A and B are shown apart, each in its own frame.
Chain A
Amino acid sequence: MSESWIPAQQDFVDFFGSVKPLRALRASVEEEETGQSMEETLSRLSLLYDIPFAYLVPTEKLLASNQIRFFYLDPNWVRVLLDGAMSLGRNASVDYAHDTAFIEEVYQRTIEGNSRIRPLLQGKPVVKSALSTSECTGFLLRSPLVHGWRGLEFKAYAGGEILTALRLEALSEDVLLGLYQGVIDKLELLEPPESFHFGFNRNGENLSKRLRGLQDGTLTETEVPVVQRGNRVVDFCRTAETMRNALGVEITSAHMALEMIQNPHIAVIDKK
């Protein structure tokens, strides 16, 4: 046989033209064992998981301490990253033809699928969100806030609309990466509610606390003294009694927590 058995490139593209293989990108039997589907691995890559920090911030000057820096994620960079990941075992021209036929769809699916990663990591049901934009923006935060306030909360907005968080993760002790679907024009930093702390107003040795309404939790004008036992120990029992008299309900530790929690802070960063 003198003719080459490899058909021309064109034939190959056509060859894969009629196949619909992307269903197979989802879980097959082996994937259930390894726990992560191909699509998930790629989606993670597209959210910059496992990317060495030096590839994101090559010099320290870009991100000094006490800074928050916003950015647009380069879609081309993610594209070639995924192409590189898909290049394994792409040896024969038939493999290349195969990938040429599919890589665009793989890329699209990866970008669409990356909103599933966060709920997955949080152990929550995945809600299929309508993809409004493939544009991705985010921020890098370097501050003692990252390790001092575990469970820090962020809310990003674009024109008043709340954006879907794709990734919010601490990369190290003091660096945090946030990625959102869409272009952020306003970001809110919220104190983590599970870490709201107990506090009171202090006037010399006298302690007092403004009470919160039990209906909506807003501060009222009523201020009750916080009773002390001496040696800086707070007398919760008698404080609870004064609260009961002011609010008219039996005070449990949940009521006590509601009343004693300091007002949380919200920081807002607006785009100029």
Chain B
Amino acid sequence: MKGSLNLAPYALPPLEAGEYQVTVIQETSISNCKVADAVMDFAVEAEQISVAPGQVYSTYPPKGAVGTYGSCLAHLILHRRTLPWERTLPGAVRGIPWVALLVFSEDENVRVSDADYKQAVTPTQGVYIPTINRRFGSDSEPCRFIDIPRPLFEDVLPDKSDLPYLAHARKISLDDKVTDGQVKSEWFSCVTANRYPRTPNEGEDAVKHSAHLVSLEGFADYIYTADRKAHPFCTCPTVRMFSLTSWEFWCARVEFDFSSLVRQLSADTLRPQVTMEQPALQKLIALGYCPLDHLFREGSRSVSWYRPPLLSQPSWEGTVAFCHFADSLLRYDPELGMMDITYSAAWQLGRLLALQKTPFAQQLMGWRLQNKQKAATRQNIRTLSVALNVSSRAPSAPDMENTCRDIWQDVTQAVVDTCGRSDPAGLEGAVLPRFQRRSDPKGRLRTNRPSLSQQELLGLFEDETSE
């Protein structure tokens, strides 16, 4: 198998959760002068008493799964690769996780409570409550905590020598993966349990297990103490821990793992597995058509055939033409007396989906308008260049001017011809005939007459007469 999985023992955050202070000191050589320090406080926050469900990428065994998990260790994959190392327990070196994954079976009397932070830290008789260094967050923040019987707690709490092995970071490639909107990074962190689930005894079907990602904050003194027996909670019968996130699964004898699920899969092409007596109907069914109720616009009802876009064989139809409206894609088969609404439905669906997307509709309108304007401009230029007898597609200003002069000469010629040479005054208000060019501009020339002074006009006439 090609493909890779990269493993890293830990992924440390640039800054751990906590409070920080930046101090800028400026020293100067000027005597008797001291510049005040600039101080800024800031805090780095991280999850403390709960982890948002969105932060959990996946779990193994899957949530609610039933299967043979007797020889594997549960784990939890978190989106943020640094999460298990964002706090450091007192006494530990960096790179040791501050969380652990504990697995309990249903018969171990672990009590789960959902409450808020204030209730969680309210002293209760016989329960050891860890003290955590909580500087931010409200008392009413909801959280989940578990009360574990002390002997069990002593057994399952990871030993200090085991802790480093219980979390690592993984990097994978997203290339062949199901697209997942929440996954933007190829790195994940993984926290593994240190305890394997119990397989069902004789007579039991399945054993329910719960896995809790617990915070080890407040237990560092116990984990790193030399003499555990001397720890204060040895007087308490139960120990409370914050469960940051948890899930349940069943350990049974039926297999529920990747390979058994894949083995159950039946593969085929997408086609209906029904048989019809009539050959005509059977043919339609084999092509993927489904009979569906059809409510016509005028109110009558019928059954029509619809074929989904997922075909069991390559498309056998020629290209369908683009059209004005959905109804022109309805197809009627006179022999069967029924309609095929496939493409009509698809067209209408496309229209409805587009209507749903306002930005798209705006862009479409803008795009079309822009194109229409561009085309109109070009068309105008084209008409003009034909009218002016300019060959180039975008006539230049001198070209236009020269052509205008040509036209003007033609016009004056026409004027002179019409009005006679002797009476220049007859020009006033005269309706000019269309002049002969390859393409005639419409309307009266007078409106487009280049402005020449009377003097110039007369000058033209004089030239004519003096010849």
Contacts and interface: CB of A to CB of B under 8 A. Distances in A.
B178 A81 contact: no
A237 B353 CA distance: 59
A116 interface: no
Interface in B1-54: 1, 3-5, 7-10
Nearest to B105: A232
B429 interface: no
B249 to A, nearest CB: 10
5 contacts: A31-B363, A37-B363, A76-B317, A254-B8, A267-B265
Secondary structure of the B contact surface, majority rule: mixed
A87 B357 contact: no
Given A76-B317, A252-B9, A151 B183 contact: yes
A75 interface: yes
A77 B378 contact: no
B272 A61 contact: yes
B273 A61 contact: yes
Interface stretch (B130-138, B160-168, B221-229): B160-168
Given A21-B370, A58-B306, A233-B195, A152 B350 contact: no
Interface string A145-187: 1011111111100000000010111100000100000010000
A78 B311 CA distance: 12
Interface string A23-64: 011001011001011100100010010111001111101110
A3 to B, nearest CB: 9
Interface string A128-150: 00000001001011011101111
A25 B367 contact: yes
Given A78-B309, A232-B196, A200 B58 contact: no
Nearest to B163: A236
A99 B315 contact: no
Interface of A: 15-16, 18-19, 21, 24-25, 28, 30-31, 34, 36-38, 41, 45, 48, 50-52, 55-59, 61-63, 66-90, 94-96, 98-100, 102-103, 118, 121-124, 135, 138, 140-141, 143-145, 147-155, 165, 167-170, 176, 183, 189-202, 207, 229-237, 240, 251-258, 260, 262, 264-267, 269
Q: Which 8 residue pairs are nearest across A and B when measured between Cβ atoms?
A: A84-B350, A237-B161, A148-B62, A71-B310, A77-B309, A252-B9, A199-B72, A85-B354
Nearest to B171: A194
B273 A84 contact: no
B348 to A, nearest CB: 6
A176 B179 CA distance: 10
A167 B179 contact: yes
Contacts of B75: 195, 197-198
Contacts of B362: 30
A224 to B, nearest CB: 14
Contact of A230 (B155, B324, B326): B155
B351 A87 contact: yes
B432 interface: no
B166 A236 contact: yes
B267 interface: yes
B359 A36 contact: yes
B264 interface: yes
Interface in B42-93: 57-58, 60, 62, 65, 70-75, 77
Contacts of A232: 195-198
Contact of B264 (A66, A85, A165, A258): A66
B354 A236 contact: no
A167 B264 CA distance: 24
A192 B177 contact: yes
Given A18-B378, A74-B311, A169 B178 contact: yes
Interface stretch (B115-123, B255-263, B411-419): B255-263
Interface stretch (B210-218, B338-346, B384-392, B402-410): B338-346
Max count, chain A CB within 10 A of own CB: residue among B3, B315, B354:
B354
Contact of A98 (B77, B195, B342, B371): B371
B319 A79 contact: yes
Given A77-B309, A252-B164, A195 B364 contact: no
Interface of B: 1, 3-5, 7-10, 57-58, 60, 62, 65, 70-75, 77, 152, 155-156, 158-159, 161-162, 164-170, 172, 174-181, 183-184, 188, 190, 192, 194-198, 256, 258-259, 261-262, 264-274, 290, 292, 306-315, 317, 319-320, 322-326, 329, 342-343, 345-357, 359-368, 370-372, 374-375, 378-379
A160 to B, nearest CB: 13
Contact of B371 (A19, A233, A265): A19
A77 B368 contact: no
Contacts of B308: 55-58, 62, 77
A183 B313 CA distance: 11
A24 B290 CA distance: 40
A201 B99 CA distance: 27
Contacts of B290: 58-59
Nearest to B165: A236
B315 A76 contact: yes
B272 A41 contact: no
Given A77-B342, A84-B351, 10 more contacts: A41-B360, A45-B350, A61-B274, A72-B312, A73-B309, A80-B323, A168-B177, A183-B314, A190-B3, A197-B60
B135 to A, nearest CB: 29
Given A121-B179, A169-B178, A194-B58, A50 B261 contact: no
A45 B351 contact: no
A266 B1 contact: yes
Contact of A233 (B155, B269, B272, B352): B155
Given A72-B315, A230-B155, A254-B9, A198 B72 contact: yes
Nearest to A270: B267
Given A31-B363, A88-B364, A234-B73, A150 B180 contact: yes
Contacts of B269: 69-71
A70 B270 contact: yes
Given A72-B311, A72-B313, A145 B258 contact: yes
Contact of B270 (A69, A89, A267): A69
Contacts of B378: 18-19
Contacts of B312: 71-72
Given A19-B371, A72-B314, A198 B73 contact: yes
B265 A68 contact: yes
A202 B261 contact: no
B174 A124 contact: yes
